[in-house]
Chains A and B, each alone.
Chain A
Amino acid sequence: MATDTYNKVFTMHGVIMVFFFLVPSVPATLGNFLIPLMLGAKDLALPKINLLSWYLYVAGGILAIYTMASGGVDTGWTFTTPLSTHYVNTNVLTTGLAVFIAGFSSIFTGLNFIVTIHKMRCPGMTWFRMPLFVWAHYAASILMVLGTPVVAIAIVLVALERTIGIGVFDPTKGGDPLLFQHLFWFYSHPAVYIMILPGMGVISETISTFSRKRVFGYTAVAFSSVAIAVFGFFVWAHHMFIMGISNYAVLVFSLLTMLVAVPSAIKIFNWTFTLYKGSITFETPMLYTFGFMGLFTIGGLTGVFLGTSGTDIHLTETYFIVAHFHFVMVGGMLMAFLAGIHFWWPKITGRMYPEKISQLAAVVTFIGFNFTFFPQFILGTLGMPRRYAAYPPEFQVLNVFSTAGASILGVGYLLPILYLTWSLKYGEIAGDNPWQATGLEWQTQSPPLTENFAVTPIMDHEAYDYEWLEHQNLTKLKEKEVPSAG
């Protein structure tokens, strides 16, 4: 592969994965479908805005693909100035426009979720009876609504600088290229919380269901989502420790970065305590959940290495960053996405997938993932820089490991595509509540009616109340028995 092709490939990988997969995946699929169900509502508050959000996503996606087809872009997904404004002659404009449009899609989704959560809760659904999935989406939505417009204006300024030559980021005129990075990371750092928070919401649901226990420290987990959203806005400059910001700024942002680890740890600890003395079963979603917990913990802790200004200077711009980011985003978010897909698949389609093979896929994914990305931690500490097409021979072995692992990971992703498609037609009928989970979404048909519930539900119990569920099941059983006796 030619070196400039390599630059284009990793740029497009970053742009597509960040803006068109990681950000919208859980909110736009599971969130869209589940938030109204979990709140006992008929639909999101603004269905037309929802449709608009989808059209914008498609438009942005088509533009991104067009960019790729028409020669690609090679600035890295971060569009760093002045590289993006002056030095490359690839399609920065169309990529920027694609990201701008996808950003508005994200804003509208977030806005819709916030309005829905405020205004569409069914009777009895107080804030602290909402499933933690909804809390996590609420926090992520705040980030979408407040963060995305800032990257939008940064992209507009880059576009203006490229086309008519204004000088906001141009050092020859007195503009400051670092300002671009401040504006860019002001969104793009919170964006990683937009990506991970919905995933954390999924984990709260699965871990409770498959340990048959209320989530330990419900309130703490709910507030830790909001805390991540709030802290997330004050750590952006940790991407710029070596870019020439002042030592004081490095100090402050390093400290603030450590603080984000606190709410994330609160979540991990509370999930672990949920498992404690739970009645744990190992269905596929739970396997992915365990995968998430292990990999996210590693990803999160290596984030603390990078947040420490001293070690960051050694590790930044190496494969350590790549490994850290992929542990959080693929090991964390993608595992959670797969857990969510497997958990709610019977609700979405009304059919079960084959259990054994899906468990196998979960294990294969986990193994493949570790093979792919763990060697990259080692490569990073040894000093292999990222975004270079070539590497010296002493890094050969670990790189081969990583490539081989990626092939295993590929099998792990291919399997679900196959058996999930198969199950659409041939899967067993799932029934309303195959996992015996407590959320309101399990109280309606699978797949749900057009307006979700035949009768507007009344939330008369706390979230994750398994005794209530048992009671509910008994009542339903009796109702069935009475007519047969009569």
Chain B
Amino acid sequence: MPDSTAIAHGAHGAPEHGHEEHPAYLRHHFENVEQQADAAGFAMWLFLLTEVMFFGGLFTAYLIYRNWYYPAFVEASHQLNIFWGTLNTAVLITSSFTMAMGVWCAEMRKQRGLVLCLVLTFILGIGFLGIKTVEYKEKIEKHHVPGFHYSLQSFIDPASDPEIYKEYHDKPLALDMARHTEVYFSLYFAMTGMHALHMIIGIAILGFMIFRARAGAYTAGHVTFVENFGLYWHFVDIVWIFLFPLLYLISRHQ
């Protein structure tokens, strides 16, 4: 713990003392490597807490509107493509696995393993965004993007959307309720959009890390950065684990 070493430090009375015993990556204001790693890890968990609050606002909005406009939410969720959604969940969970392996490789100082894991995570992340793009494209084509071009057609006249109608036999919604499907899609785009933004940031950092890992930066004992990024990546994954059932699954069958 920082306390005991700091006493020893103070007792020697020389502030410069001990630098040569420490690895080069120990920053000057920390007493030892454990304190540095502790502080960085703690900071990352706190940051994730702010992220929880950030998405928390969206989840609150979802909860309220789902209770108010239940029929609209049910029919709107039928429009989501469950095949792509499930596939994307699988892709993302796999990327979390490769990321966890990456952290393990860094700790075990396996440089080639680390680079491989990071590259795999990178590819899976891109794959997720690719599938998301396909889904977004569907929504654009059906005019389900909220805003000026939004169309209520599929909800006031479900038979006009034969593919979905064949599967769910939705009853037409009253105009008033049908209009609330736009709130569902507002939340759908806000939530998946914010999630995708976090993925894009994560992928950018992954790209940076691949270069650094090839230079051997994370396999010489200093694994804090990889560990913290791993936490971030798993967090973004977990957000999706909540989004997927809320948006795709739970309202599907009445």
Are A148 and B50 interface neighbours, CB within 8 A?
Answer: yes
Are A119 and B15 interface neighbours, CB within 8 A?
Answer: no
- Binary flags per residue of B48-69, CB closer than 8 Å to A gives 1, else 0: 0111011111101100110011
Q: Provide the bound-state CA to CA distance between A458 and B10, in Å.
A: 8
Binds B, one of A56-64, A157-165, A240-248, A391-399: A157-165
Residues of B within 8 A of A322 (CB): none
Are B38 and A119 interface neighbours, CB within 8 A?
Answer: yes
Q: Which of B21-76 contact A (CB under 8 A)?
A: 27-29, 31, 35, 38-40, 42-43, 46-47, 49-51, 53-58, 60-61, 64-65, 68-69, 72
Residues of B within 8 A of A173 (CB): 146, 179-180, 182-183, 186
- Binary flags per residue of B106-142, CB closer than 8 Å to A gives 1, else 0: 0000000000000000000000000000000000000
Q: How many interface contacts (CB-CB < 8 Å) are there between A and B?
A: 143
**Known contacts A42-B28, A107-B50: A166-B189 contact under CB 8 Å:** yes
Residues of A within 8 A of B61 (CB): 157, 168, 179, 183
A154 contacts chain B at the CB level, 8 A cutoff: yes
Binds A, one of B1-9, B82-90, B155-163, B245-253: B1-9
Residues of A within 8 A of B69 (CB): 174
Shortest C-beta distance, B176 to chain A (Å), equals: 8
Are B53 and A111 interface neighbours, CB within 8 A?
Answer: no
Shortest C-beta distance, A86 to chain B (Å), equals: 13
Are A456 and B10 interface neighbours, CB within 8 A?
Answer: yes
A237 contacts chain B at the CB level, 8 A cutoff: no
Residues of A within 8 A of B57 (CB): 149-150, 153-154, 157, 183, 186
Which among A146, A173, A451 has the greatest number of chain B C-beta atoms within 10 A?
A173
Binds B, one of A44-52, A433-441, A474-482: A44-52
Are A156 and B38 interface neighbours, CB within 8 A?
Answer: no
**Known contacts A156-B194, A179-B61, A455-B15: A123-B6 contact under CB 8 Å:** yes
- Binary flags per residue of A107-125, CB closer than 8 Å to B gives 1, else 0: 1000110111011111110
Q: Which of A77-129 contact B (CB under 8 A)?
A: 107, 111-112, 114-116, 118-124
Shortest C-beta distance, B49 to chain A (Å), equals: 6
B101 contacts chain A at the CB level, 8 A cutoff: no
Q: Count B interface residues, CB 8 Å.
A: 52
Are A174 and B179 interface neighbours, CB within 8 A?
Answer: yes
Q: Which of A10-46 contact B (CB under 8 A)?
A: 41-43, 45-46
Are A111 and B29 interface neighbours, CB within 8 A?
Answer: no
Residues of A within 8 A of B147 (CB): 164-166
Tell me which of B27, B31, B35, B47 contacts A111 (CB under 8 A): B47
Residues of A within 8 A of B55 (CB): 153
Residues of B within 8 A of A76 (CB): none
Name A122's closest neighbour in chain B (CB-CB): B6
Residues of B within 8 A of A156 (CB): 190, 194
A→B interface (CB under 8 Å): 41-43, 45-47, 49, 107, 111-112, 114-116, 118-124, 145-150, 152-154, 156-157, 160, 164-168, 172-176, 179, 183, 186, 451, 453-458
Name B189's closest neighbour in chain A (CB-CB): A166
**Known contacts A119-B42, A179-B61: A451-B54 contact under CB 8 Å:** no
Are A46 and B43 interface neighbours, CB within 8 A?
Answer: yes
Shortest C-beta distance, A157 to chain B (Å), equals: 6
Q: Provide the bound-state CA to CA distance between A479 and B76, in Å.
A: 81
Q: Provide the bound-state CA to CA distance between A49 and B50, in Å.
A: 15
Q: Provide the bound-state CA to CA distance between A168 and B66, in Å.
A: 12
Can you list 25 contacts pairing A with B, beta carbon distance less than 8 Å? A42-B28, A42-B29, A43-B29, A111-B50, A115-B42, A115-B43, A119-B2, A119-B35, A119-B38, A119-B39, A123-B6, A146-B53, A150-B53, A152-B54, A153-B55, A166-B147, A167-B182, A167-B186, A174-B68, A175-B65, A183-B57, A183-B60, A186-B57, A453-B15, A455-B13
Name B197's closest neighbour in chain A (CB-CB): A156
Chain B binding surface, main DSSP class = helix
Shortest C-beta distance, B48 to chain A (Å), equals: 11
Name B27's closest neighbour in chain A (CB-CB): A47
Are B49 and A145 interface neighbours, CB within 8 A?
Answer: yes
**Known contacts A123-B3, A174-B65, A179-B64: A49-B187 contact under CB 8 Å:** no
Q: A43-B29, A120-B29, A166-B185 are in contact. List 18 more A-B contacts (CB 8 A).
A: A42-B29, A46-B39, A47-B29, A49-B43, A111-B50, A115-B39, A116-B39, A145-B46, A157-B61, A160-B193, A168-B187, A168-B190, A173-B146, A174-B65, A451-B15, A453-B15, A454-B15, A456-B15
Q: Provide the bound-state CA to CA distance between A153 and B54, in Å.
A: 6
Name A44's closest neighbour in chain B (CB-CB): B29
Q: Provide the bound-state CA to CA distance between A148 and B145, in Å.
A: 29
Are B50 and A175 interface neighbours, CB within 8 A?
Answer: no
Q: Provide the bound-state CA to CA distance between A189 and B226, in Å.
A: 37
Name A112's closest neighbour in chain B (CB-CB): B43
Tell me which of B9, B43, B54, B148 contacts A149 (CB under 8 A): B54
Name A164's closest neighbour in chain B (CB-CB): B147
Residues of A within 8 A of B50 (CB): 107, 111, 145-146, 148-149
Name B2's closest neighbour in chain A (CB-CB): A119
Are A149 and B53 interface neighbours, CB within 8 A?
Answer: yes
Residues of B within 8 A of A115 (CB): 39, 42-43, 46
Name B35's closest neighbour in chain A (CB-CB): A119
Tell me which of B9, B43, B58, B186 contacts A175 (CB under 8 A): B186
Residues of B within 8 A of A175 (CB): 65, 183, 186
Shortest C-beta distance, A93 to chain B (Å), equals: 16
Residues of A within 8 A of B42 (CB): 115, 118-119
Are A149 and B51 interface neighbours, CB within 8 A?
Answer: yes
Are B2 and A153 interface neighbours, CB within 8 A?
Answer: no
Which among B3, B56, B146, B179 has the greatest number of chain A C-beta atoms within 10 A?
B146
Residues of B within 8 A of A168 (CB): 61, 65, 183, 186-187, 190
Residues of B within 8 A of A172 (CB): 179
Shortest C-beta distance, A397 to chain B (Å), equals: 46
Are B29 and A166 interface neighbours, CB within 8 A?
Answer: no
Name A176's closest neighbour in chain B (CB-CB): B64
**Known contacts A123-B7, A152-B54, A455-B15: A174-B39 contact under CB 8 Å:** no
**Known contacts A160-B190, A174-B68, A454-B15: A45-B43 contact under CB 8 Å:** yes
Residues of A within 8 A of B53 (CB): 146-147, 149-150
Q: Which of B179-204 contact A (CB under 8 A)?
A: 179-180, 182-183, 185-187, 189-190, 193-194
